[in-house]
Amino acid sequence: MRIHKEGYKIILVTFFILIILSMLVVWFVPNHFIRYIFYFGFLLHLLWTMRFFRYPKRNVNQGDNYILSSADGKVVAIEETYEDEYFKEKRILISVFMSPFDVHINWYPFSGLIKYVKYHSGKYLVAYHPKSSELNERNSIVIEKEPGKDVLLRQVAGIMARKIVCYAKESEVIKQGDEFGIIRFGSRVDFFLPLNVDVKVKLDDKVRAQKTIIAQFK
């Protein structure tokens, strides 16, 4: 299993903390059965941490007008809204919520040019909260395929997330399916799409990054 580079340090620190906790269990818990319960819990925590940072190998579902999901998870919002950070106009918002058990790496939904990147500090409301896109820690990226075909992506931290990693840079030419970042633990990704796109998903649909077509440019 391949591990994302952002996970190496966290996994190593987690391993050493669990070793120390295991030593404390030996010293302070005389009952062998209870010790084994602790050891089993520590092992599960280590395996979960390693699994969280897994890096799946997938073939990109390439398509010239496809807008692929940038994240694994569940569609929790599809609505028309006013986007006031960059476009200053009405857009179709599609939100994908990532549970702690989903892959949290993010990939570009289509090929194009990065026009805008901006990080915002903020709160840590649960990621499926309607206001989390506006109030939580977040990072916004605007990608333009061509004039009139552009999307604002927003990485949104959740109640468990404490770090948004984004590799996108303004004026960079990017390729559909390439990685642009990761959000640690429960979080979401918002897509602010042009009103004339053809939406391909429904509420509560499970989507996969690099695979699921969430919408299509016309």
**What are 74-131's pLDDT values in tens digits?**
999 999 999 999 999 999 999 999 888 899 899 999 999 999 999 988 665 555 555 5
Mean pLDDT over 172-196 rounds to 91
N-to-C CA span, the chain:
38
Q: Is 34 exposed, middle or buried (0-12, 13-18, 19+ CB in 10 A)?
A: exposed
* Residue positions annotated with a catalytic role: 187
Structural domain spans, the chain: 5-52, 66-216
**Residue 40: C-alpha distances to residues 34, 74, 179 (Å):** 10, 30, 34
Domain 66-216 has CATH 3.40.50: no
pTM of the model: 0.86
The whole-angstrom separation of Cα 177 and Cα 155 is 16
Q: Where are the alpha helices (H) located in 88-127, listed in sequence order?
A: none
pLDDT at 132: 54
Q: What tens digit of pLDDT does each residue of 45-62 get?
A: 999 899 889 999 999 999
pLDDT at 120: 87
